[in-house]
Chain A
Amino acid sequence: MNYAFSTGNELAALCEAENITIAEVMIRREMETSERSRDELINQMFEHLMTMQRSIREGLDEDQQTMTGIAGNNAEKLYAYAEKANMGTDMARICAAAIAVTEVNASMGRIVAAPTAGSSGVLPAVLVMCSEKRGFTDRDIVNGLFAAGAIGIIIAKNASISGAEGGCQAEIGSASAMAAAALTELCGASPRAALNAAAMALKNILGLVCDPVAGLVECPCIKRNAMGAANAVLCADMALAGIESIIPFDETVAAMRSVGRMMNSDLRETAKGGLAATPTAAEIAAKINI
């Protein structure tokens, strides 16, 4: 059997042919290409999960001194406020966790790029924080990470997961789509439903530019991780409620690629446009880049 896939349609067909999950197809595919055993792959993903869990805890518990001092310690603030949050306690905690990981990243702490360092908060926040409510075990979350990886591979192959190539839609957009699909599958929905969740998540972030203030992974990246996590939960819930994406996943990925190509290079990580070109950003840049 060959578990190769390049598109969402191919992935769903493989799942349906053997009645297996996206995570299972991803594991079997990785076994084929890496010639490593199932146990080895699962152990490596387990280690990533442990790093993810640690980064959430660190970001929520400890003072995070980011390199420039322009950001930091907002995760604690949101977490402390969560019970009063208009979006509900659970959602506020998920967003706080996403901020936590990205603050740890900006403070030279240890994170897992998922798919990139700048978007590393979305996936752990969604899967780890939803696990308590839904009763996911660590082994379930590891499966979720494999499922998320499959979605990321399709986006990387057909569009991009790099802000320099495709803008923020390629980083936070991809992370959000990956998290949405993984959560949908972990909640027991079909591979097609998971792809619908991914499509909706990507659609919502389509066109977002990468405009880091002073060229650093702090502003607006940290708060956009919170948005990406919230969007993932929203889109997973829509898919679980039976809502379908009008534009299918593969076509959404193609649209993301074409939008990325139309995007001026000033809006792709070069810190020359968007928020990075505001007077406040210029002030910050002058202060920190001595």
Chain B
Amino acid sequence: MALEGELVVTLRCDAQRVRGVDVKSTRPLLAARVLAGKTGAEVATTIPLLYSICGGAQGAAAACALAAAGATGFARESAARDTGVVVEALQEGFWHLLIGWPNAMGSEAQVTPVTAARYQIATSARASDGTDLLGDAAAMRGLAVSLGKLAERAIFGMPSPQWQSLADADALAAWAGAGATLPARLLAHVLAGATPRHHAAAKLMPPPRRDLLLQVIAPALRDDPAFARAPLWAGEPVETSALSRMREHPLVAAVDRTYGHAPVTRIVARIAEVGQMLDVLAGGQPAAPRTQSVTLGAGDGLGAVETARGLLLHRVRLHDECVADYQVVAPTEWNFHPQGPLVRGLADAAADDRAALLRTARLAVHSLDPCVACRVEVAHA
């Protein structure tokens, strides 16, 4: 077992179908142990060291939570913080579509555009003298142009606005069939195996507005000791992902009407969101803020950040400016909940062909993009 823990998904099958899906997580919940007693400034320097791929989003969630709890030196709102989360999610988008997805489908990854995107981000987000440029609108517009060119070549195969205006699932299938980019070719394979609407799917998380964070999330964080490991939204499992954010996008909505909250719909949402994030980086208005600070009480703050994988929550309670308690609820906990979207999506899947079942399961896992390694096992009754 890896030190950082892992997810193990066990598909319990008879000869025909999956009869049950178990998810076990061995991921350590470290935040409270590592951060107890630290000041806000120490939390801010420690958090990015703890987390690898989403260090920026984790840092933003911590800053939001600390500001909401009244810690000295943290602003409740920061445009640069929001931009940092968008830039990190874009980097994740390139990774996900050009490395993670082909790997999950047994195809060869396309590393070069990912390396180029990472280089552009590293050199545009920070000046050579170390100055942070996330708040510099001109630098971010320049980054949007360079990432846009990379995305046009490697992901969309056409200018992003043209892709965004594909009218429906048929137009998407035609784009996939033409196979101009690796994601198009992979999507053609996914569409070939996709089945129409799956009614058992978990609901999508509602847009986590401030009032809902106070009404739904705050009581759960306060009263439910199991919430951080197995969160429910008002008692129900929900999906938090690019799909939950992009459900209003015309093409995503059209694919959702045909296939439901399925892997293909999540992947289309993720492609669409790359285009949307490029627009935001170029100076467009985001549909909703990526980061929120919500005060829960005296010295008690919640930070909520829409990361590439979904909603990330940090809650901090301070005593004399030092951490008395710290909770982190990552998107993976919602999406790999024992009754959540992964489990519901695989329940009753055909199990007569073991190799095909494993391919289905790996695509489902990939589409929900866990932030740790995930192993899939098949057990026959």
| Same complex origin of A and B | no
Instruction: Write the residues of chain A forming the contact surface with B, with a CB cutoff of 8 angstroms.
Output: none
Chain B interface residues (CB < 8 Å from chain A): none
